[in-house]
Amino acid sequence: MSKHPTSIRTSKLTAEQLATLVSKTGMNQTEVISVAIDRMYNKEVEMKSISNESYEVLGINPSELTGMSTEEIADLIRKVQSGLSISEPRMTENEIQDAAEKIHKDAALE
């Protein structure tokens, strides 16, 4: 794959973060930036189009839940909820059930 030169300006903090990532990962700056953009793209674009509910509630693609029952998905949501910090909003049991049903339908469509 050919590379296309791109020039960017960064804040001092971003430059320091980039240098730290290069040092910690062993990747070069181009690789670090490519991985960061790919991860953000997947989070913001691809996963949103797959299943907003599944990705936002569980952080996973609905295809990974294929074959699971609505109750098993609800149990996964409860586990995620139990790991939230005190300041983070929690779902009610009705919200958990509604989300589990929607995610179950999304998984069946995959």
**31-68: pLDDT as tens digits:** 889 888 877 877 666 544 445 667 677 777 777 888 88
Return the pLDDT at 50.
Answer: 45
Range in 8-12, 42-46, 84-88 the model is least confident about: 42-46
Burial string for 62-72 (b: 16+ CB within 10 Å, else e) reads beebeebebee
Give dist(CA 1, CA 10) in Å, integer: 26
Q: What are phi and psi of 67, to 5 degrees?
A: 95, -10
pLDDT for residue 74: 92
Residue 91 — pLDDT band, cuts 50, 70, 90?
A: confident
Mean pLDDT of 74-101: 87
Q: Which amino acid is at 34?
A: S
Query: Average pLDDT, whole number, for the chain?
Result: 83
Domain boundaries, the chain: 12-109
What's the pLDDT score for residue 109?
Answer: 62
